[in-house]
Structure 1
Amino acid sequence: MSAKAKHVTVLMGGFSAEREVSLTSGAACAAALAAAGYRVTTLDVRRDAAALIAGIPKDTDVVFNALHGRFGEDGCIQGILDIMGIPYTHSGRLASALAMDKPMAKHAFSAAGIPVAADLLADRETLNAGDPMPRPYVVKPFNEGSSVGVRIVRPGDNTELYTAAAWPYGEKAMVEEYIPGREVTVAVLGDRALGVTEIRPAQGFYDYAAKYTEGKAVHICPAPLPPALTAHICDLAVRAHAVLGCRGASRADFRIDETDPAKPRVVILEVNTQPGMTPLSLVPELARHVGMSFEDLVSWMVENARCDA
């Protein structure tokens, strides 16, 4: 079937904390797919499974999943599309669920020999009682994306209260060893890494605002790293993609601790199975680096869509 004959429904919006980002991603992808010759329908997904199923046109050939966050990238929507038998972009339900559950993903990485930071799960009582590990450390929701809710607790910081109002991300949080140094990311398409980008926030760390606000962070593509270190990080990203069972596009985030310059420590933070597709996003940037236009990228995703039906 030619691109002009293929009907693609773009799912966007959703009801997670990343709704606005998803709307931006979805609009950009829909425009690029239309320009590439596909017949495109967009669907703003709400918290109504029956409406979602009814809203996907019956002649849809492929669903382009531009949803971010819970329900969109945690295996839920993937399961619905598997039941419907409609091919969709990005990873299937198991890989999506594993990647979204940070502790489970780290267990998989560690078992495969991919280096991870030390971590523990703590409930509100534990967090409010005192430091669960030596400072500095990172506190993050264990099943959110886009750095939603991430906090770095440093020496001298006032203790924050993890009440339901101050911490609306569930009863438990993931507490993780803080890895100093540089932050880099790798885009993986299928079984190949496109390259490494270094991320330098204007201030603080690469939080939600830095990800999606122009001028809040600088992307250096390709990252200024020795060739051997670049190759090592790319290899880790491809291995992490494979360990989780990802398909299509993913993005792996790493920290490089250069406390000992002769032996830098590379640690994986997470794999994002639904990487952002906004004008500021990293995967489109890395694709351009290897000569792949945004239209080429989204077309590749559509042509490699699958389902687990």
Structure 2
Amino acid sequence: MITKNTKIVVLMGGPSTEAEVSRNTGSAIAEALSSIGYSVIPMEYDPHHVVEKLKEAGAEVVFIALHGKYGEDGTIQSVLELARIPYTGSGVTSSAITMDKIMSSHLFKQAGMPMAHSKAYYLKDGKEAVMEDICRNFDFPVVLKPACEGSTIGIEIVKRKEDLPDALTRVFKVEPRILAEDYLDGGEFTVSVFDGKALPVIQICPHSGQYDYHSKYTKGATDYIVPAPISDELAKEMSEIAETGYRICECKGAVRFDFKTNKEGKPFVLEANSIPGMTSTSLVPKAAAAAGISFPELCEKILMEAGLDKV
């Protein structure tokens, strides 16, 4: 049982390209839990010595505040399972699936969740062959995504055929596995799911018109409207889709599902985020606040679900 005397390590940072975002998340979580009386130890993630450092700190529970590779992809979850240290969020398999855009798209489509037409491509097949296949199977603009990056890192929106070679070079530098996807030109939304239940839908309105890394992490660059100014029917549809994704991936804790609509207003799932940003102004806390849950209370609720032997 977790009490105010339990030694809680908030694990953040590490080698991921999203390390700085993770440190912001971890610092906010540590501050929130400390403010309501928990014994919290913030810790930088050192993959080579993580178990040793956790044991030195006397960690009884790990609150995972990591983003991206080695933190959100099941890697640290497997280490903590082996070390038998309870941790927050989803388990090894669930984390690996939701992090991987290629694998999660297969699973979501199989479950009947609406997703844009997409196809996986691999650098080993040769850039020329990939380029030819994309031109055969997609209209422009087309979206290219690294399979296992977050925070929109490496995403390319290719508006013209002649821009495809350079875009492919850039995205393949990020990762040798990518997903090509139809471009959706409607609104952008996100649905946070906690403990299997959807929180209020948020509409995302970037001033630039594109929700990229700059729009996500530059103060004032994007407006977030919660509850989203949409019909009850659309809100219910997206909420049910997100809850389905949470259930079929056997997620735990707070997971965020991102959506975009087409010009007819039909919603499509973009991806799932098993460890979403958790500063007091991040999307999950905004949705929780709209449901009457304060940021410290949300962190405490996630903490209370820490455990082992997860899927």
TM-score (norm 2): 0.92
Q: Which deviates more, 242-251 or 127-136?
A: 127-136
Equivalent residue number for residue 41 of structure 2: 41
Identity percentage of aligned residues: 37
CA distance in 1 between partners of 2:211 and 2:33 (Å)? 29
Equivalent residue number for residue 278 of structure 1: 279
Letter paired with 2:243: V
Q: Which deviates more, 162-171 or 177-186?
A: 162-171
Contact 1:7 1:39 in 2 (8 A): yes
Contact 2:144 2:171 in 1 (8 A): no
Within-5 A mapping of 1:286-297: 286-297=287-298
Q: Which deviates more, 190-199 or 55-64?
A: 55-64
Question: Does 2:207 correspond to 1:206?
Answer: no
Contact 1:120 1:175 in 2 (8 A): yes
Contact 2:154 2:170 in 1 (8 A): no
CA distance in 1 between partners of 2:173 and 2:278 (Å)? 26
Question: Does 2:144 correspond to 1:139?
Answer: yes
Equivalent residue number for residue 81 of structure 1: 80
For these two proteins, the number of residue pairs brought into alignment is 303
Kindly state the Cα deviation for residue 134 of structure 1 after the two structures are TM-superposed.
Answer: 1.4
Equivalent residue number for residue 54 of structure 1: 52
Equivalent residue number for residue 91 of structure 2: 92
CA distance in 2 between partners of 1:20 and 1:2 (Å)? 28
Question: Does 2:183 correspond to 1:173?
Answer: no
Kindly state the Cα deviation for residue 47 of structure 1 after the two structures are TM-superposed.
Answer: 4.0
Contact 2:146 2:179 in 1 (8 A): yes
Contact 2:154 2:171 in 1 (8 A): no
1:27-64 Cα offsets, whole Å, 9 max, x none, are 1111111112110111101342xx11111146322100
**CA spacing shift, 1:230–1:258, aligned 2, 3 Å:** same
Within-5 A mapping of 1:111-150: 111-122=110-121, 123=123, 124-127=127-130, 131-132=134-135, 133-150=138-155
Kindly state the Cα deviation for residue 164 of structure 1 after the two structures are TM-superposed.
Answer: 6.2
Equivalent residue number for residue 65 of structure 2: 66
In structure 2, runs of 5+ residues without a counterpart are: none
Structure 2 residue matching 1:115: 3-state secondary structure: coil
Q: Which of 137, 154, 157 in structure 1 is aligned with 2:159?
A: 154
Letter paired with 2:291: V
Q: Which deviates more, 166-175 or 28-37?
A: 166-175
1:70-102 Cα offsets, whole Å, 9 max, x none, are 010000000000011111111000000001111
Contact 1:21 1:278 in 2 (8 A): no
CA distance in 1 between partners of 2:201 and 2:279 (Å)? 18
Q: Which deviates more, 202-211 or 232-241?
A: 202-211
Superposed CA RMSD in Å reads: 1.9
Structure 1 residue matching 2:147: 3-state secondary structure: coil
